[in-house]
Structures are given as C-alpha cells and as structure tokens.
Structure 1
Amino acid sequence: MRHRPELLAPAGDMERLRFALLYGADAVYLAGDRFGMRGAPKNFSMEELDTAAKLCHAAGKRMYITVNTMPTNEEIDALPGYLAALREIGPDALIVADLGVLSLAKKYAPELELHVSTQAGIVNWAAAAAAYELGAKRVVLARELTLEEITGIREKAPAGLEIEAFVHGAMCMSVSGRCLLSNYMTGRDGNRGQCAQPCRWKYALVEEKRPGEYFEIGENEEGSYILSAEDLCAAPFLGRVAAAGVDSFKLEGRAKSFYYVASVTAAYRRAIDAIGEDPADYLCPPETLAELEKSSHRRYSPGFYLGREFAVQNVTDDRYQRGWQIVAVVERYGAAAAVCTQRGKFELGETIEALLPDGSVLPFAPAWLRDADGQEISSTPHAMMEFTLPVPRPLPAGSILRRKK
C-alpha cells in the first residue's frame, strides 16, 4: 500500500465542519456561496471560508473548496475574481469539473492544487492522464467503476496523480451526476447544485386515451421508485478499495446533518485505521458496521465496486432508515456530570447512548436531569435548552447523545 488513505468528509456549514474535524476526518470538502454542486446546504461565505481554512490548518487537516458546477457564459465572467479571492484564503485544493474553470484556476490561483471532480466522468487511465497533463493533482473517479477498473487506472495513470473515490453515501441514477432530469421537470439545474431529486419520486404510468388513470409500475405494495438508487457502503471491503490504489476515501453528504457527518466519519475512521500494511488482511471492525446503521440512510449496497451483478441500484421505496434520534450535544464536563445543549426531546428514565469523538459508544440511563437554573426536570422539551445530567465517565465536548426510536 502506498500510504494510508485519506478520510475526506463533507462540510455543508461551519457546524458540520467542526464535527467532521472532531470525529476524525483528515480533510474536508466544502463550497463557497457560488459555483458549488450543492445548493441546498447553507455553504460558506468568503469570511467563513477564511475561518474554515484556519481551523483546518490549525488542526493539521486539509480543506478543499468545490468549484465544480458547469458555468454559463454569464456565470464564468464572474469566476476570475472569485478564484482570486479563494487564492487569498489558501485552501489546499480546488475541486473543478469544467475545462474552462480548470484553465482559469491555473491562471488566477496558480498555487492551489486542482482536483478534477467526479462530474468530469473519468472512467479510464487515458482520461486520468490527460487531467494530470492539464494540471490536476488528483482525480475523483466516476462512481460507476469496479475495483478492477480502478486498479487498471492506477497501474497506467501517472504515478504522481492521486486518486479519490466515493466510499459511502447517496448514489445518483445518472452517470457521474450529469443529469438533466431536474432541470427538465422543475427548472432547477442539477449541474449548478440545485437538484430537486426527481429520481427519488414515486412514478406511475398513464395511458394517452385514459387521462387521469394512473397505473403502478409494480415492484411491491409500496409502489415503484424505479430511478431511486440505494446508498453506497464500501466499509465491508474497504481494504480492497485501498489495494486498488485509491488515495482518498470520500464520504458523500454535504446536505446531511452534523450528526450524520460525525457518525459516518467516526465509523470510517475506525475502518481506515484497521487497514494494515497489507490491505488484503483487512477485516471491517464490527463497531464500524454497527455505527453505520445508526445514521440516516437508504438500504446499503456495494455500488458498482464489485461488479454490475451486485449493483442493485433501485430501491422498493424512498424511505430513509432512521432508527436513532439525536437528543443533545455535550458542551462541557465536570463533577461527574455533562452540561448539554438539547437537540431533541427525551424523558427521564430512557436509556440513551453517547457517541464520543473517538468513535466509542457509552450507553447509560441518567438518574436525574437539571435545567440551566439547577432545577430538577423530567424531560427536555425545549429546543436548544441547556441541561445537565450525570454520566458514568467523562465525556469530551462535542460528544453526541442519542436514543433509539
């Protein structure tokens, strides 16, 4: 193995960035308020990007800014000034997809590394080599590749080119996310970060001469979601992904909650740390698999990694599996008690579980609850209220308390 793969986590806003760093990410990827492929998250102002870069670098972590939309003529005219401003902030890399953006980035931010986005659809070694020749330090491979195909790219691509691949999260029914369905149906362009996710909707057939009559495209009693893909989970065979030559393991989820970011990052931190000098000896830690069931997700699949015959890509319904609910975040610890901020109501007497930043889990049933005034209470009904509860052992700030639904 060339080196231990990087764990790259999503950050949709400052809170999610802090939790990604706290729970074990080696690097984060995020977007400014323009030119990013995720329009739903809050994203970062220029001032916040500057703060984020300082936070990451102070922690010895890396930060990548996405500039990976497909800009129109009007939009690209604003890009030189934006790139020059990003250059002053000093991220570790820019993630780009459009050749014009790549060219302008080399001109207006020449010191910054360039990573070619999965939106570019790189599926062979020649494309990877061409990206390197154009100035890319890294390519984010298309999500449709098998492990064997990735191995072939690694063997023939330039040795100095890094390879990044998604290992967890939502999958798109379109090739590398290049989809016009949302634009066609809603006017919201997925290639500019505004996808309405019509692939997740329930569909039926209607016949021309019988308007108003809808016929189920039968899969089961829940109906049919013929375009909606399962979620990717490569944790069980992560050693094989490392052996294929992937340098950076990417977690999808810039639009997901801070709890999702913390939980999934902690799970993959344990998994990556379990990869030894010989990735063939990798055994997925049971704690990783248990933790991945405690974040919101659709049914898991290996994606395309193990071959098309294993890539069961459409789900029988579009419902997330949400078995756990966050109830609080620990702000500080002292005198055998934790001071917390409420994130969901729970009742005295319920068993809860603490997820610590090192990925360990501590179940307990608190004997009492007190509000910010020190008065005993029986529940935590108010959003973001401060309260205190006894804990069996010290809990670091940023620990997350949750309960099973």
Structure 2
Amino acid sequence: MSNIEIKRPEILAPAGDVECIKNSLKFGADAVYLAGKQFGMRTASKNFDNDELKKAVELAHSYGSKLYVTCNTLPRNNEMAVLPDFLSYADEIGVDAFIIADLGVFELAKKYAPNVERHISTQAGIVNSDTANAWYNMGASRVVLAREMTFDDIVDIRAKIPKELEIECFVHGAMCVSFSGRCLISSYLTGRDANRGDCAQPCRWKYHLYEENREGQFFPVEEADGGTYLYNSRDMCMIEHIPELVESGISSLKIEGRAKSAYYCAVTTNAYRHAVNDYMKERENYTLKPWIKEELEKISHREYNTGFYLGKEPGQVTSNGGYIRHYDVVAVCESNEGNVSNITQRNKFFVGDTLDVLPPSGIPFTTVCKELKNKYGVAVDSAPHAMEELIMTTDKEIPPSSVIRKKRS
C-alpha cells in the first residue's frame, strides 16, 4: 500500500430524520447522507420533505460538512416523470451530491442538477477499475464500491483509476444477504420491492423445511431450539482496521444506518471520527483506544464481522434473528448548572444508578445519579415516564447535549 497517497478519509454518517442528522453532525461527521420522500432505498425511515431537506443542507453546511441525497432506487417510468423537479430543487438548495444507481437517473441529474456531484451507489455493483473508469468518464466524481471487495481489490482499483475519482466504502452497520446485488426475495414473498426502498427484510426471518409428500408437516432446519435464520447476515465493524482502510486509498468511510436511531448515529460517528483522527495524528505509533471499540458494543447490533475486506465470507447468524444489546439510553441532557442537569428521560433509571455519559467531546465517562426531582421540584426515586423532564444531580458535570446511558444487568 506504500504507493497510495495517504489522505484523511471522510466520515460519512447516516440520517433518517432531523434528530439523526443533528447527532451525526454534532459527533463529527464530515458528510451526511439522507433521502427525500422519494427515490431513497429506505422507506422505513422518516426521511425529509422539501422544507426539511433545505434545512438539513443549511445545518450541514453550518458545521462545515456536506450533505448527500440518495437517489439510488431503480425507479419506474411514472417515477422518472417527477424526478426532474426533485433534482432541480436539490440543486437549488445546495445539495452537495446525489448517490445514484440507475444510468437514467444519472443522466437526468446531469441535466437538471448540474451543480450537484454524482456518486455511484454500491447498488451498481462496481468491482473493477474498468467499470469505475467508465462511470468517471461519464461524469461521476465518486464510486461506492461493491461490498464484496477485499483490501487487495481496493488497492488494485485505486491504482488504476484517476486520483480525482473518489472511492467510498461501507465500514460499519447491517449487511444485506445480497450485499451489493439486486435482491428480489422481498418482492417475491411480500410484494415489497427492495430495489425501490421498501424491503421487508425476509432474510432476517426464521425458516423451516417442508417435505412435499407430508403436507402440513414441517421439518425444522435448526442449529438450536429456536430454529434457523438461514440468511441473517452479521453486522460489519471495521473499527479495528482503520490503518488498512486509510492506506487502501479509500476516500470516504461510510456508516450504514438510515433506519437506525439518533443514538446509533452519535455513537458510530463518534467512534470512527476519533479513530481516524488518532491514526492521522499518530500513524506508525497508532493503537486503537479501548474505549472506542467499547463504544460500538454500547449500541444494538448483530454479531460483528469484517465483511469481505480480509478475504473471508462474513457469513450469517443462523441461531437467532435478534440484536445484542448491552446498554439503554436513559436520558439526554438539555442544559446544566454545574452538577445539576435538566434532562429528558428516555428509559427508566433510579437514584443511585451509575450512568454512562457520551458528551459532545465524544470521550465517555461514568457518573452517579445522586438526586432526581420532577419539573415541580419534588424529589423522586426513579425516572419511569418516557420523555419526562427531570432535574438530576450527579457527582460529575454533564455537558448539554450529552447522551446518558445505563448498562443492562
């Protein structure tokens, strides 16, 4: 990798709603990707109407960050008819780039949004330099490589494309069983088209086997009593491989999760931000700080894996379809005076609990809840009501905008 020009990669964070974009930016995203109400691959997210999209662009730019809009569905003719107006509007409000999978959408974006860069989605399945160069010659400024790439593959592609063409790769989050392909399982089983943002995630379901001559009788295909989840992919986590990611010439480290919570956006963005900053500062002396890796265990996730980067198949978690979850968010700090904080409750906790705090600086610490009062100033023993406003006294000062967590028993 010694011939690769080493540059600080962009941290690209997801946002499914307004709270998510605020957290992604607050915790260090160089850029945020999101979708309008149409043409994005996550209809399960709230997404952004035109007014919200304009405010999101302004918010991102106020942080000195960029905002990318996903137009990566495979739209039908009736959808293409309304696309030009959306593209023109995005150009008008200052969107920095579109993420595109379809060639027709790519050409329309050139015509109706000439000031917006065009990035090629992982849905396009780019696995070689000839394809990357073809997109570059048509006007793409970035390619999001297929998720099946190894480090050696990426280095080889980087060496054979123009230095101006950026490479973006997923480094964290959920992985589809079809990875970079066009999956039809959801359409076949439910009528919900995964290629138009409406995946029902049937790959996460439990399956049984039937024998054709024994109608109504099923034979469990199982590794445990709970049944078998044949297609349930692990989650990706590349936090332990920052040096390889940077030295491969990847321009942007992308975090999956537009359907995930604002808390997820904060934790993942913060972890990769600190890890990259540390590596760029320390280089040969770099070691991953233990707290950074621990942070990624404080969000809900499936079993972690390194995808295809190391030349191995990530595989599936066949024994269960659920998440690993060690921590709960119990409150958010709205404001404070010394060790007294005004908080909004999210999950139940008690006076005397040890709480884990993620402040805007991104360096977590623990503190003890010494006292709780409701908004009328009456002392209470616990915080049982979601979104209740409370006054909390702790043994350490909690900065405003901090996320407050509690480890599960």
Instruction: State the TM-score, normalized to the length of structure 2.
Output: 0.96
**Correspondence 1:153 to 2:157:** yes
Distance 1:39 1:18 in 2: 20
CA deviations 1:264-293 (Å, max 9, x no partner) are 111111111121378565422211111010
DSSP-derived class of the 1:382 partner:
coil
Distance 1:48 1:193 in 2: 20
Distance 1:312 1:288 in 2: 25
Give the aligned length.
404
Match of 2:395 among 378, 389, 392: 392
Structure-2 residue corresponding to 1:307:
311
Match of 2:116 among 105, 108, 112: 112
Greater Cα shift, 368-377 or 350-359: 350-359
**Correspondence 1:369 to 2:369:** no
DSSP-derived class of the 1:274 partner:
helix
Structure-1 residue corresponding to 2:9:
5
Match of 1:194 among 195, 198, 203: 198
Distance 2:50 2:233 in 1: 34
Distance 1:177 1:30 in 2: 21
Distance 2:77 2:348 in 1: 49
Structure-2 residue corresponding to 1:217:
221
* Aligned 8 A contact 1:114 1:137 in 2: yes
What fraction of aligned residue pairs are identical, expressed as a percent? 49
What displacement does 1:383 show? 1.7
CA deviations 1:154-185 (Å, max 9, x no partner) are 00011110000000000011041410100110
* Aligned 8 A contact 1:239 1:281 in 2: no
* Aligned 8 A contact 2:203 2:231 in 1: yes
Distance 2:391 2:365 in 1: 17
**Correspondence 1:342 to 2:313:** no
* Aligned 8 A contact 1:243 1:279 in 2: no
CA RMSD in angstroms, aligned pairs only:
1.4
Distance 2:295 2:36 in 1: 30
Post-superposition, which runs of at least 4 consecutive aligned residues in structure 1 deviate over 6 A? none
* Aligned 8 A contact 2:356 2:364 in 1: yes
Distance 1:337 1:116 in 2: 48
Structure-2 residue corresponding to 1:331:
334
**Correspondence 1:78 to 2:87:** no
The unaligned stretches of length 5 or more in structure 1 are none
For 1:12-91, list aligned pairs within 5 A. Answer: 12-91=16-95
DSSP-derived class of the 1:352 partner:
strand
**Correspondence 1:238 to 2:242:** yes
CA deviations 1:383-405 (Å, max 9, x no partner) are 21110111333322210111111
What displacement does 1:189 show? 0.5
State the AA in 1 paired with 2:396: R
Match of 2:354 among 351, 356, 361: 351
What displacement does 1:346 show? 1.1
DSSP-derived class of the 2:78 partner:
helix
What displacement does 1:380 show? 1.2
* Aligned 8 A contact 1:151 1:245 in 2: yes
Match of 2:321 among 298, 311, 318: 318
Match of 2:136 among 127, 132, 138: 132
Distance 1:277 1:372 in 2: 45
State the AA in 1 paired with 2:381: S
* Aligned 8 A contact 1:240 1:280 in 2: no
Distance 2:220 2:161 in 1: 47
Distance 1:41 1:388 in 2: 32
State the AA in 2 paired with 1:216: P
Structure-2 residue corresponding to 1:182:
186
The unaligned stretches of length 5 or more in structure 2 are none
* Aligned 8 A contact 1:24 1:358 in 2: no
Instruction: State the TM-score, normalized to the length of structure 1.
Output: 0.97
For 1:250-289, list aligned pairs within 5 A. Answer: 250-276=254-280, 282-289=286-293
